[in-house]
Chains A and B, each alone.
Chain A
Amino acid sequence: MDLTNIAFIAFSAITLICALMVVLARNPIYSVIFLILTMFSLTGHYVLLHAQFIAIINIIVYAGAIMVLFLFVLMLMNMNANNEPNKSFLWKVLAGLVASGMLMSILLVYIKNMGDMPIVPTTNSAVGQALPADFGYIKPLGNLLFTEYVFPFEIASILFIAAMVGAVFLGSREKSTNN
């Protein structure tokens, strides 16, 4: 039982418990806090998987930007009171059945198709060859992003412009009609 195994178990437990608490918490503010904890433990998983750049981006974009946006909107609406009515018991049972049935079907596919996949040491990939020394660093990722994937990258910038214009337009429409 070396350190990476302990880290894997701890991160997995934190991820699953915090994700369940996102769903089960009555107060939306607590849901956001638990979602931030989930993001942090997923960042730990990314570090374990030699994806350093993705780990940093996960912290900056998700825990830094998106979650702050969620928190600000929740505080803007003063939603920290518990005023959400319950769904009916039958609906909850049905939702649990759907979610657990989906999990079971996915896991059955895994067990059927990947049951004999060898568990390999962490410095190798599954197909046998050793990972390159700079796997997950910024330099090879940037090389890939600006040569092979440069067109999707530019399209993503257009998507961001559209999202920014849309958010500003939606956010300012009410005020302009009032004036």
Chain B
Amino acid sequence: MNLIGFENYLWLGSALFCIGLLGVLVRRNVIILLMCIELMLNASNLLLVVFAKMFGNMNGHIFVFFSMLVAAAEVSVGLALIVLIYRKFRTIDSSFLDKLKG
């Protein structure tokens, strides 16, 4: 019995993605929202590595590399924005950040 088939990795990656989606929908803390986005990015990274191995082609690793670069840039700018929001409104609860709603 060999469990490291590709189906199991597909199940794992999609379950991880849906946990991240659940977190984005349920939580209100903006930092935890960012963390759940990181979870979803990691699920897609895992599936890219799985498909790279599945086809014996290393282009998937390059895509994971770039996705990590973009995640790092996104987190640095996003956390700077969150610090700015906290300084201005003294809260990072997403339900209070409704100034854009008319």
Give chain B's interface secondary structure class. Answer: helix
Interface residues on B, range: 35 or more
Q: Any chain B CB within 8 A of the CB of A37? A: no
Within 8 A of A (CB), among B15-53: 15-23, 25-29, 31-32, 34-36, 38-39, 42, 45-46, 49-50, 52-53
A residues less than 8 Å from B70 (CB atoms): 156, 159
Within 8 A of B (CB), among A136-179: 136, 140-141, 144-145, 149, 152, 156, 159-160, 162-164, 166-167, 170-171, 173-174
Per-position 1/0 for B62-102, Cβ under 8 A of A: 10111011111111110111111011000011010000000
B residues lining the A interface (CB < 8 Å): 1-12, 14-23, 25-29, 31-32, 34-36, 38-39, 42, 45-46, 49-50, 52-56, 58-59, 61-62, 64-66, 68-77, 79-84, 86-87, 92-93, 95
Identify the 4 closest CB pairs spanning chains A and B, nearest first.
A119-B5, A95-B25, A125-B56, A163-B73
